Chains A and B, each alone.
Chain A
């Protein structure tokens, strides 16, 4: 059974139209992450939550926001998607810090038209 679930698997949005991607977990992990993976590139961390504490990576654009209303759910909001934001967005969870394994969802592939 999937432990990290991302919806939708595929999302098409218009240039400049806000879009929200969702992630849920059944592992009760403390940490939730959002990674961006562009075609043929390595995943890049956008931000993470440790419980309710939000941590933004220094080079994450302001256009990207996140919400974690409870332990199980985390959302990625892209306020004004540009063509360069087309990518696979991966949600992951881990019990604790970087020394514990991260469990990834199947990702949401975002297309911007």
Chain B
């Protein structure tokens, strides 16, 4: 069985603060893929990053960074110097070659960045 846990339901920060969104996953597959999506109030899910299970290299993209650690089955997402436009629901998702085409989403973390 596959499972994604985002323990933080809601986070509120003040602009310019750094914030980390946690994601813990469970899978028995050796080949799997982890994703982060952003869902702004407009509704569409916006792809942020994909990581496969063989690539534990951390990644930085502007103010966004991701820390993938297989030892703890975690794929955490950090926003540096948060901005009001970062306010959204963020979903972590897991897929694998044995799960067919289904992405298993976590329940999401709602991030509110206030001025």
Contacts and interface: CB of A to CB of B under 8 A. Distances in A.
Interface of A: prevailing SS: strand
Interface stretch (A13-21, A66-74, A77-85, A101-109): A101-109
B106 A101 contact: no
> Main secondary structure on chain B at its contact with chain A?
loop
B91 A43 contact: yes
Contact of A102 (B100, B103, B108): B103
Nearest to A107: B43
Given A42-B106, A88-B43, A104-B45, A99 B100 contact: no
B99 A98 contact: yes
Contact of B97 (A43, A98, A104): A98
Given A43-B91, A50-B101, A101 B42 contact: no
B44 A42 contact: no
Contacts of B106: 42
